[in-house]
Amino acid sequence: MPEYNWPDAEHRTLIGKRISRVDSPFKVSGRAKYTYDYHSPEMLFGRVVRSPYAKARILSIDTAAAEKVPGVKAVEVIQKVGSVVQWAGDEVVALAAVDETTAEDAARLITVKYQPMAHEVSDAEPPSGAAEAAGPMSEDDIWDAIGNQMPDAQFIQYLQEHGVSFHPTEDLLKEMKGEGASDAALDVIRKASYHEGKGGGRSPYQKAAATTLGDPDKALTEADVVSEGLYGAPVITHCCMEAHGSVVEWPDKDHLFVHISTQNVSGIPSQMAEPLQVPAANVHVHQDNIGGGFGSKFSADRWDIVNARLSRNAGGRAVRIMLERDAELEVAGARPSAYARVKVAAKKDGTITGWQSQSWGTGGPGGGGMPPIPYIFNIPNQRKEHTAIRNNIGPARAWRAPNHPQAAVITMCAIDDLAAKLNLDSLDLWLKNLDITGPRRETYREELGIGAELMGWKDKWRPRGQNISGNTARGLGLSIHTWGGRGHSSDCDLSIHPDGSVNVKMGTQDLGTGTRTTIAIVAAETLGLPVEAINLYIGDTQYPPSGASGGSTTPGGVSSSTRRAAVDAREALFSKVAPALNASSEELECVDGMVRVKGDPNRSLSWKQACAKLGAVPVNAHGHNDAVPSKNKPDLTNSGVGGLTMADVEVDMETGVVKVKKMVAVQDCGLIIDLKMAESACFGAMTMGISYALYEEKLMDPVTGRMLNPNMQFYRLAGLSDIPEMVVHMMTGKGYDERGVIGLGEPPVISPGAAISNAVANAIGVRVPFLPLTPDKVLAALEQKAGA
Amino acid sequence: MQDDDPKNPTRESSGVSRRDFLKISGISAAAVPVLGTKVVQAAGTPVKVYGPGKTPVELTVNGKTHSLQVEPRVTLLDALRDGLDLTGAKRVCDRGECGACTVLLDGKAVYACSILAIEAQGKTIMTVESLMEGDKLHPVQQAFVDNDGSQCGFCTPGFVVATKAFLDRHPNPTSEDIRRGLNGNYCRCGTYHGIQGVLAQMKGA
């Protein structure tokens, strides 16, 4: 059986070293091509007409004037007259024209008349006393649910629990099917029990979860200390630098060629096939580079499907639709909000005994679920209730470490407030309670020690509000986090050619996370070659399928499939070379660009000489990593990491401005392929953390229902001037390396928000309940403290 | 405002900003429907009027002169990307907020999304594509590679150009210079730490 296991430390020449990315030279020189950069001859420019209302029924659509504009080649109505749009910026009509200015002008000639309806866009108030969705669904409720793309499972469960308040006819059901209702849902509507009632389903508030563990009442009553507070994080957007979009063309009437900005190259064909009635095998997807995704680019979006229709109507000519920046921020990605009122119970010595939370938040039309609170700490007695708010802010998408940053803010800030109430150093309280943090507790213990040292925690830490000089307050905060990160399903083809060149092909994508470099390092390490010797082909459906890049699943997936393919190809090469070296293939190894007999460097061939023994035909090997761990023998990837962030902040008490002065990240991710890239992932995540902790919020106007800041001036990202001294420590060596490769995309972005919020509370002596920690919120908290 | 702040680059160098132009073209709308350019008085200043419709534009980019037909409202960025297939400068915010479209106009870093193609005529335009010498990366580009100053890479070309222009003016920048001088480019992946490494590597080089 070939040796697939990762080489041990003394036999690694590339894995775990600091290696520059293989694609950086293309990116720094502008040669790297993105979907937005793709031009095809005769390409048309698409333009989308969007709803200015957060909720409205479409009364009429007139495209006649636009169709007459010279240069307009196709017009496509996306939402028919009578449909109800559910968020501002929702797509209504699209057109394609010979150039962008013509498309812009023609789009302005399209007249859509709307009947505005009452909308709901707020989420920051606790839904106390508000009517909750509990009644039977009216016909309008069901139309809403279909229009909202309410997840089927949720839709069906609601119908089964609450029934309907009308008698559906088969004609109506047919119409609903036409609008996208699934057969399963229609079947449930058909069989749903009838109740008199006035559409309780119309309330935006819906009880999403209620769980009790142990005896929370007893824990709260018998506690020495109960700390109570309000915590939360608002809806933020992904704000990818490269907008969502695609260039789609039909080379002939049965084949589709799609350039698309996606985290999911291999998964796009089946998503486009069904709505366009073309076999998935006839959909060719290509993407060289993607300008950011962060969880928002897994799907072929509605505009991509429309794009294909426009192209078909225009005789197959390529059509480009890349979202304008305002649309990108309004409709192409939002992280659900989460807020909670929390009580934490503890003994005098800091042992946490109880948790009670009433949480709420919105993920747009779908509502959304409860974040995993209390986060990491398995507090023995808990009572949790969560209310989902369904509203018209646009749909939510996975945002780097879905639900974890919100859970960290709610949990780690509540626990930090408890530490303050107990007059304990937060670090000591964390250490005290590590026993209830589950399987990674010893990792956390080690990391907290290292982090404290790197931060100078013990020297710098002061009790809350006791490090103020003049108008300047300093403070420290910390948070810990976890994530899975097991490798996804991935297939890899690797060929060794008789001239010594090596090809690796895989239908994966590099989000800027270093996927290309990871694959090249693993292949080069296995074959004893330099990284530059690997010719790498990714980003195309002509290559073997590999999973979507989400949830930190890519490094484990692609490194495992590459390792298997490379080991098998190496074995095939050994069997051809062995006779020439008078050895058996088991005795051979690939080292330093040579194939040689183990322990006998004199019996060796250069890589080129060895490959020449292949004759005329290359060897090709296929490697597969299965998403189901038991199907991988041996298993080269793993799941479950621990990490932390510590922050040192300075707050101007007069202006409320927060400046992060220093940040420390300590992180494990199993066997590290490239230390340089791993550290960059942490530096980047801390930067993104500063951004969402201090600046980011999708601000909705309750009157118009529209986003107030759909641009990069008022949807502010952290800039270079916001970057503090940053320190990253990656856990490596015994206890970590042998776990196999684990993804790193999500974990380090989870804690910064909570850590910075805790540092601000430590500095100014009072909690600023919700992120982002903008000056107005800081000053309001200070004012409240002064008045208390 | 520092004169090399790329956030506000065009007033001095090109005379007419995009928004001023739009105002002026509004003023002159009645006098416009003739082919070619003509000159009208706007606020007492003679201003060339182009369009409407496509108008011939000559751009000197990376040492070569190109003739294009574009509408007067087309930005330098779109002319470069869609007209000349020079796609290094990226379109992100399209309104002078993010810096991803940074190019050099007569040696100064400017936002190409906020300058009209017609305004850039007669000036020397350098894009990121001009920085390599043959197969060799420019030292600033090499420093970006060495310091991992690029992740998804979409902001990178703009950042590289902005950094080069900044270093041309501040060969020995203080950290305060860097904070001020390179705060006009945003990166969503968070590569600023690597870019600080670029500056450290280039300092005095």
Tell me the per-residue pLDDT of B2-20, one tens digit each, with 9 for 90 and over: 444 444 443 333 444 444 4
Question: Which residue reads 């013990």 in tokens?
Answer: A458
Residues 183-242 of A with CB under 8 A from B: 239-242
Average pLDDT, chain B: 86
B7 within 8 A of B109, measured Cβ to Cβ: no
Top-confidence residue, A128 or B170: B170
Task: Provide, as residue numbers in chain A, all residues whose Cβ is less than 8 Å from the Cβ of B94.
Answer: 324-325
CB contacts of B86 in chain A (<8 Å) are 30
- Is B178 in Cβ contact with A720 (below 8 Å)? yes
Contact yes or no for B186 and A712 at CB 8 A: yes
Q: Taking CA atoms, what residue in A is nearest to B132?
A: A29
CATH topology of domain B10-128: Ubiquitin-like (UB roll) (3.10.20)
Q: How many other CB atoms are found less than 10 A from the CB of residue A356?
A: 23
Percent of chain B residues past pLDDT 70, beyond the cut? 81
Q: Would you tell me the crossing angle of helices A554-577 and A515-527 to the nearest 10 degrees? A: 30
- Chain A residue with Cα closest to B190: A684
Name the A residues in 8-27 with CB < 8 Å from any B CB. 20-21, 23-27
What pLDDT does B13 receive?
39
Nearest CB to B154 within list A241, A325, A720: A241
Beta carbons within 8 Å of B79's beta carbon, 6+ residues apart? B57, B59, B68, B70, B117, B120
* pLDDT score for A534: 98
Q: What fold characterizes domain A35-118+244-322?
A: Aldehyde Oxidoreductase; domain 3 (3.90.1170)
Alpha-carbon gap: A50 to the closest alpha carbon of chain B (Å): 18
Q: Does the CB of B123 have a partner CB in chain A at under 8 Å?
A: no
Q: Are B92 and A325 in contact (CB < 8 Å)?
A: yes
B66's tokens: 């190109």
pLDDT at residue A161, rounded to an integer:
80
| A685–B179 CB contact, under 8 Å | no
In three-state secondary structure terms, A163 is coil
**For residues A225-252, average pLDDT:** 98
User: Which B-chain residues 154-173 have CB contacts (< 8 A) with chain A?
Assistant: 154-157, 160
Confidence of residue B36 (pLDDT cuts 50, 70, 90): low
Q: Which chain A residue lies closest to B151 (C-alpha atoms)?
A: A512
pLDDT of residue B23: 43
CB contact B152 to A (< 8 Å): yes
pLDDT at A154: 74
User: Tens digits of per-residue pLDDT, A127-146?
Assistant: 665 556 567 787 877 877 77
Question: Which of B78, B102, B148, B155 is the best mutation test for A, with the most CBs of A within 10 A?
Answer: B148
3 state DSSP class of B29: helix
- Closest CA of chain A from B149, distance in Å: 9
pLDDT above 60 (res A222): yes
- What is the reported pLDDT for B166? 97
Mutate to test the interface with B, among A27, A36, A290, A324 (most CBs of B within 10 A): A27
| Chain A residues 252-311 with a CB less than 8 Å from chain B | 289-292, 294
Task: Give the per-residue pLDDT at A163.
Answer: 84
* Distance between CA atoms of residues A660 and A663, nearest Å: 7
Give mean pLDDT, residues A738-752: 98
Least Cα separation, residue A334 to chain B (angstroms): 15
Q: What is the pLDDT of residue A181?
A: 84
What mean pLDDT comes out for the span B110-119?
97
Q: How many CA atoms lie within 13 A of A182 on its CB side?
A: 12
Surface of A (27-86) touching B: CB under 8 A: 27-34, 36-37, 39
Name the minimum distance, in Å, from the CA of A300 to any CA of chain B.
Answer: 20
List of chain A residues whose C-beta atoms are within 8 Å of the C-beta of residue B202? none
Quick count: other Cβ atoms within 10 Å of Cβ B138? Answer: 17
Q: What is the mean pLDDT of residues A388-415?
A: 96
Considering only CB atoms, B100 lies closest to which of A23, A37, A241, namely A241
- Please answer yes or no on whether B192 and A241 come within 8 Å at the CB atom: no
| CB-CB neighbors (< 8 A) of A30 in chain B | 86-89, 127-129, 157, 160
Helix residue ranges per DSSP H, chain B = 10-14, 18-27, 76-78, 84, 139-146, 156-169, 175-181, 192-202
Are B98 and A292 a contacting pair at CB < 8 A? Answer: no
Q: How far is A719 from B192, CA to CA, in rounded Å?
A: 8
Q: What is the pLDDT of residues A603-628, one digit of tens each?
A: 999 999 999 999 999 999 999 999 99
Which of the pair, B23 or A534, is modelled with greater confidence? A534
How far apart CA A547 and CA A525 sit, in angstroms, is: 23
pLDDT of res. A253: 95
pLDDT in tens, A491-531: 999 999 999 999 999 999 999 999 999 999 999 999 999 99
Do residues A754 and A233 make contact, with C-beta atoms less than 8 angstroms apart? no
| Ordered alpha helix ranges (H), A125-212 | 139-147, 152-162, 170-178, 183-191
Task: Specify the pTM.
Answer: 0.91
Q: Tell me which of 3.30.365.10, 3.75.10.10, 3.40.640.10, 3.30.1310.10 is the CATH number of domain A334-485+639-787.
A: 3.30.365.10
Q: Which residue has the tokens 């800081």?
A: A778
Task: Give the pairing of strands A600-606 and A594-597.
Answer: antiparallel
Residues of B in contact with A665 (CB under 8 A): none
Domain boundaries, chain B: 10-128, 139-202
Which CATH number among 1.10.150.120, 2.130.10.10, 3.90.1480.20, 3.50.50.60 corresponds to the domain B139-202? Answer: 1.10.150.120
Work out the pLDDT band at A368, boundaries 50, 70, 90.
confident
Quote the mean pLDDT of chain A.
95
Reference B55, options B124, B104, B117; nearest CA is B117
Any chain A CB within 8 A of the CB of B31?
Answer: no
Given a contact cutoff of 8 angstroms between Cβ atoms, the answer to whether B162 and B188 are in contact is no
Nearest to B193 among A21, A687, A691 (CB): A687
Residue of chain A with shortest Cα separation from B127: A30
pLDDT at A204 over 90: no
Cβ separation of A325 and B146 shorter than 8 Å? no
CB-based contact B73 A240, cutoff 8 Å: no
Task: Determine whether the interchain pair B152/A242 forms a contact, defined as Cβ–Cβ distance below 8 Å.
Answer: yes
pLDDT of residue B12: 37
Q: Do A100 and B156 touch (CB under 8 A)?
A: no
Distance from CA of B12 to the nearest CA of A (A): 23
Q: Rounded distance, CA B40 to CA B31, Å?
A: 8
Residue A504, min C-alpha distance to chain B (Å): 21
Residue A466 CA to residue A464 CA, distance in Å, equals 5
The top-level CATH class assigned to A9-24+487-631 is: alpha beta
Lookup result for tokens 């060149």: A501
Q: Do domains B10-128 and B139-202 have the same CATH topology?
A: no
State the count of interchain CB pairs (< 8 A) between A and B. Answer: 177
**Any idea which of A365-369, A470-474, B57-61, B162-166 has the lowest mean pLDDT?**
A365-369
Give the per-residue pLDDT at A162. 80
Sorted by where each begins, the domain ranges of chain A are 9-24+487-631, 35-118+244-322, 334-485+639-787
pLDDT the model gives residue A257: 98
pLDDT: which is higher, A788 or A547 = A547
